[in-house]
Amino acid sequence: MRGEHRHDSSLYALWRQVSALANNIVLRLGYVERWLFISTVTAITASVVIGVFYWMLQGLIALSAHVHGIVLHETLTDYSLIAIHSREKILIPLILLMGAALSSLIVYTFEPEAEGAGAESVVEAYHFRAGNLRGRIAAIKTIASALVLGTGGSAGPEGPAIQIGGSVGAFTASSLHLGIEERRVALIAGAAAALSFIFQSPVGAAIFAAELLYEDVLEAAALPPALLASTIAYALSLHILGPEYKLPSLRISNIISLYSLGALGSYIVLGLIEAVFAFAFVKLFFYTKDWFDSLVKEKGLNIYVKPVLGAIMVGLVGVFVPAILGTGEELLSSLLSAFSHAAEVRPIVAMHYSIFLILLVLALMKMIATSLTVGSGLSGGLLTPSLFIGAMVGQLVGLILGHYVGVKPVIYAYIGMASLAGAAFKAPIGLAFFVAEIGGTPALIVPALIASLTSAIATRGVTFVTAALKKPLPPTVFTAESLLQMLRSGGVRQVNITIPSLAKRFTPVNWHSSLSDAARIMVQTGQKIIPIVDDNNRVVGVLDPAYVGLDLGYMLRSSQSVIEVSLINAPIVRDSDPLIRVLEEMVAHGVDYVIVVDKSYRYRGVIVFEDIVQALMPYIAASIPEQNQKPQVSEADQAS
């Protein structure tokens, strides 16, 4: 029986008892207190794990520096600074090749879903997997991303961090036996905590996480818990990563100049220009990803070789333009400091055109290197590269327009980060607050909003997050009655979803067993109900303590037979019945489970409502008008 070894473990049994106790406490709390508890647990756990990820990344960077013959006097997380100062540029593709080979071996051996970027999987889990995100994916992605980024892969650390935070949030909600809606919210709260920990931007990270789910709207229900989690993670980040994020704070001497009519108009122009680069970045990324996938599907390339091939191409580019390697965080910080301390703005005619060429080359080559890195399947995020590209383009625009409107070019670099990333992820509001926070001044919020909203509107329908929906699904979708109505009306197709594929093997008890025996099984396994079977393994009822009002403490002390208190008229379906029959039984009995039997009424398993939601979500989303950007549903997803 699946999971049997866990049920016999005393450690696992202890965990279930702690989980049950925590669940009883949480259910008695009010809304704010409940989410403060969940957000605190999620933020602390995610912050510690991400701290370990950064420790691994710093260790690999130090190792790479040693191979290059460079002595580090401070800890780094950006390989580009090593590559720039290295005298042995030929080592760049060799080091990246080794990191990519190890990363590919780990990912495709243990968890293929950990390839590529991370935000997409969190949004997919929110919309199409009932908020479930396996912790194993985050663990594998942590190791794989550290290997890629630590050896020069062009990507960001936020991809694995979002998955870590999301999986921690989902696991916390599941451990507390919360419902589907609350688990989905906890998933987003965890993702917000992860972003806030990395970028030390509590408000921007929370809004970004809530905004990431849809193209046109913000998930308001997830925002308060996300704010709580991101604030706690921010406080922890100050202690673990240090009190200052890598990007320098801006000092604006004349704030009024930011809001002149000419300056406001220039932000719109900046947004339109950044929109062109955002459009090109997204299209290039998916073109590259499709090309690498076609090599595997059509040309027969071994899937383990695909990321290695991408690494070789990135490494060769990095030999000539080493600045585009790694996360780019610390290099971006150095460049912004240089931009900030540059001389006052001058007319474009008085400037050397090599500056424009350098900025343009950095933006375009970073775009290419990141597309090759993440598009080939190497693990890493897309947000940090988007910030880097946006800053380069923004500085370029600032050098052209800044003199005429009296705004320093470096301010356009900061606004450009919000503009390009806001368009690429369709999260303009969150990115505007994000840039204002890391820039150290609220004066940037309005200019960043103008530019990011402009670029987001100009690139409508183009986004890295293809799992994002255009608008939220109706809340009524998450009830058995609504799903039953959808299936009866033909609005949602069942496709190949069968009852045996959804049935879980809950541990049954014999009808002669005592309540105390059943209670111990519930504590050990975490089951909310116990199927009751006779000596021939035929189902004769179900023990549902919540339904009949039994206290777990009383059950542990009772010698009463389970058959005396079990529901004889239990919700039962046969394994050959259609899926619609499952929902009919749930609605008729007012419960969120059914017992599955064969034609002789022998016990086969249990189906719970949230598994039906998870299986049907891709088809529900596809049935809602205007929801036309959905991931294809594989047979594995149908049976998950």
Q: Does residue 128 have a pLDDT over 80?
A: no
pLDDT of residue 27: 61
pLDDT band at 544; cut points 50, 70, 90: confident
Evaluate if residue 607 carries a pLDDT over 70: yes
For 89, residues 6+ apart whose C-beta sits below 8 A from its C-beta are: 83, 319, 322
pLDDT for 47 equals: 87
Q: Encode pLDDT of 281-310 as tens digits.
A: 999 999 999 999 999 888 888 888 999 999
SS3 602: strand
Residue 163 to residue 111: CA distance in whole angstroms: 13
Domains for the chain: give ranges and CATH numbers: 16-240 (1.10.3080.10), 255-304+316-458 (1.10.3080.10), 475-638 (3.10.580.10)
Question: Edge-to-edge strand order for the sheet containing 603-608?
Answer: 572-574, 593-597, 603-608
Report which of residues 510 and 252 the model is more confident about: 510
Give the pLDDT score at 630.
45
Q: What is the mean pLDDT of residues 629-638?
A: 41
Q: What is the pLDDT of residue 76?
A: 81
Predicted confidence at residue 366, as pLDDT, reads: 95
pLDDT(146) > 80: yes
The yes-or-no verdict on residue 197 having pLDDT over 80 is: yes
Q: Mean pLDDT across the chain, nearest whole number?
A: 83
Least trusted range by pLDDT, from 392-406, 429-443, 450-464, 543-557: 543-557
Q: Please report how the helices 409-425 and 383-405 are oriented relative to each other, as an axis angle in degrees rounded to 10.
A: 140
pLDDT at 431 > cutoff 90: yes
Q: How far is CA 200 from CA 88, 204, 246, 436, 524, in A?
A: 35, 9, 10, 11, 40
pLDDT over 90 percentage in the chain: 29
- pTM for this model (two decimals): 0.80
pLDDT of residue 4: 38
Whether 3 shows a pLDDT value over 50: the answer reads no
Measure Cα distances from 394 to 248, 336, 477 in Å: 16, 11, 43
pLDDT: which is higher, 283 or 568: 283
Provide the Cα torsion 193, 195, 200, 202; round to 10°: -50
Tokens found for residue 160? 């694995």
The residue-averaged pLDDT of 517-522 equals: 83
- Which residue type occupies 106? I
Confidence bin at 21 (pLDDT 50/70/90):
low
- Rounded to whole angstroms, how far apart are CA atoms 268 and 445? 14
The answer, yes or no, to whether residue 635 has pLDDT greater than 60, is: no
Confidence of residue 15 (pLDDT cuts 50, 70, 90): low
- Percentage with pLDDT > 70 across the chain: 87
Q: Pick 347 or 209 by higher pLDDT.
A: 209
Checking if the pLDDT of 29 tops 50, the result is: yes
Which residues does residue 532 pair with via DSSP β-bridges, in sequence order?
509, 541
